[in-house]
Amino acid sequence: MIGKMLGNRYEILEQLGGGGMAIVYKGRDAILNRMVTIKLLRPEYASDEDFVRRFRREAQSVASLSHPNIVSIYDVGRENHSHYLVMEYVDGEDLRSIIKREGPLEPSRAVRIARQVCDALEHAHENNIVHRDVKPHNILITRSGRAKLTDFGIALEASAATVTSSDTIVGSVHYLSPEQARGEVAGPGSDIYSLGVVLYEMLSGSLPFTGDSPISIALKHIQSSPEPLTVRKPDVPPSLEWAVMKALHKEPDKRYSSVREMSFRLEESVNGDDGDTTRIISVERDDMLALKASAQPFPSREKPAKRLSPAGWVTVIALIMLMAGAALYGYYRFVNVPEVTVPSVVGKPLSEAEEILDQKKLKSKVKEQYHNTVSQGIVIAQEYGPNDPPVKINRVITLTVSKGSDLKEVPNLIKLNVIDARIKITEAGFEMEEPPKEEFSSEVEKGFVISQEPAANVRAPKGSRISLRVSKGTEPAARKIPDLRGLTVNQATIKLGEVKLEMDRDLIYQYSAQYLRGQIVSHTPGPGEQVVDGTAVKVNVSNGPGPSARDAKVYVREIPNDGKPHVVKITVTDVRGTNDAYIKTHNPGDQVAETVTYWGRATIKVYVDDKLIKEQVID
């Protein structure tokens, strides 16, 4: 691929790396003369619609974002069967390489990097985009120290389902949130957890969870508490340790409410005074102690047992009876609850679905999602259904309800070139139908858009396709091929130019006994055929020997004897063309006997005072 030009604009210079889905190259934008990063989908995935859709999703996700801590996307295109993205070139290295080379980072430096990633994620979350794959490999650090988040290939809108149809866990398992590991919906809190893992690794130089297989690591994310940072790195400030451990809470609602809050707490943890630090630690002291207790058993000392007094025994027995009664009440109140099979309400209006669930003594919770084919207010999916095990009554069933099509305004693409039109389509949240249709136009320059469907400024479902008709330029006029036989190459070139045609540069020489050396024997297209402007005519040229020269005697006895002088002219038409063989003024009543030379078949004509008096064809 090195040296290949994509879209007649982007030259591939060198390979920078690659992942499971794409190969990343350094390239040059020939038009703007700047370095770019080119992400090329691997050939084996070019025909896989799921991978192509995920690849395009990255362009769509980043196209809606504009932030100094997010790698920008410039263009998206397809070359033959290769899909590619053109992005901002970052002169630096990824965070994973820095940690591998330098080990644990200074707390102030680690926090500075994490807060910049927080800023990037805050912008993405504000635009309803969840990254879902935050890890050091996807964080680039420029030479000036700026962090830039990249690789939105598995990002989705926060309102969309984020579990694959095959229940495959999406994302890198070492940085996976517990809810992602369980195959649940990933929200902004999942990005917070993953960033917490990255911060833990920056501060300690190691990951919080490792294992022999991806499944064992995923289970640890779900079940185990990470070892406190101060155990691995004692010089980490306690306030910073708490800030990291809060991001790593198993329950999303017990993490930070937003990445903005996380950024604020990280800043406090390294810049706050002692009073601030004490206050921060005390706020979540119980959580912190629970985390440490789960990872670090405390030694205990045996103490002499004390004897209970009679009054003490009465108190103990009363407590035991009270606990037993409470347990029995809890069993009948919360455990021995009737179970029901959840009916299917998919495809039903929300009000009807809620009524059906209510009849089964089930509660419902609604979340809305755009859908291009399901009408607004209709249930798209439900958390539990008739194929799942029965649930207890009063169970809350989450219903996903259609918000209808996410309608976007179609941009005006008329008279844009194809590259600019493709970028504008992607930025507006649509896809361009490939390849665009082409037709001749006398009004629109070649390579520019003539018309579009849907039309500009109408509203269409997000992600739908826009088809374009692109100009092929002015349609060439029809021309008639002149007869070039017997002409020299120069003569034929001039004659073709007069009708806006040209001669093919590759001349074919052949033996000919009919035409003299250098004369055109035949040509393609042939005489009288219709072609368009600029057509190149292929010619066959005689290489000799041609016909031999012969003589003919011409007699003229028809000169009038009227007392006036008369002009006699003899012409010869043969392979050389038409030439005057004899012209002379004679007295009245003269007779002429003239020998003329000709090559091949010839036509001899005699004129007296420009009046044809004799014509003869000689083979």
Known catalytic residues are 133
| Tokens found for residue 205 | 């130089």
* Distance (Å, whole) CA 191 – CA 133: 8
* Distance (Å, whole) CA 465 – CA 363: 39
Q: Which helix (H) or strand (E) holds 553?
A: strand 549-556
Cα dist from 607 to 50, 247, 587, whole Å:
86, 111, 15
Cα dist from 93 to 32, 39, 506, whole Å:
24, 16, 54
Q: In Å, how far from its chain's centre is CA 19?
A: 16
Cα dist from 432 to 75, 118, 521, 583, whole Å:
13, 33, 52, 75
In 10 A of CB 373, how many CB atoms? 9
* Distance (Å, whole) CA 92 – CA 501: 56
Cα dist from 31 to 24, 79, 416, 419, whole Å:
21, 18, 16, 12
Instruction: Mark residue 351 as left, alpha or beta (left: phi above 0; alpha: psi -120 to 50; beta: remaining).
Output: alpha
Alpha helices (H) in 301-378, listed in sequence order: 310-330, 350-359
Q: In Å, how far from its chain's centre is CA 293?
A: 48
Amino acid type, 381: A
Coil, strand or helix at 154: coil
Under 8 Å CB-to-CB from 104, ≥6 apart: which residues?
Answer: 202, 203, 204, 205, 233
Start-to-end CA distance of the chain, whole Å, equals 66
Check the CA dihedral 314-317-319-322 and report its sign. Answer: negative
* Distance (Å, whole) CA 266 – CA 208: 19
Under 8 Å CB-to-CB from 417, ≥6 apart: which residues?
Answer: 447, 448, 449
The candidate with the shortest Cα–Cα distance to 246, out of 236, 234, 258, 232, is 258
* Distance (Å, whole) CA 312 – CA 321: 14
Q: For residue 166, give the DSSP letter.
A: T
* Distance (Å, whole) CA 25 – CA 34: 14
Q: For residue 174, give the DSSP letter.
A: G
Residue 277, φ and ψ in degrees, nearest 5: -60, -45
* Cα angle for residues 328, 333, 335 (degrees, 5° grid): 80
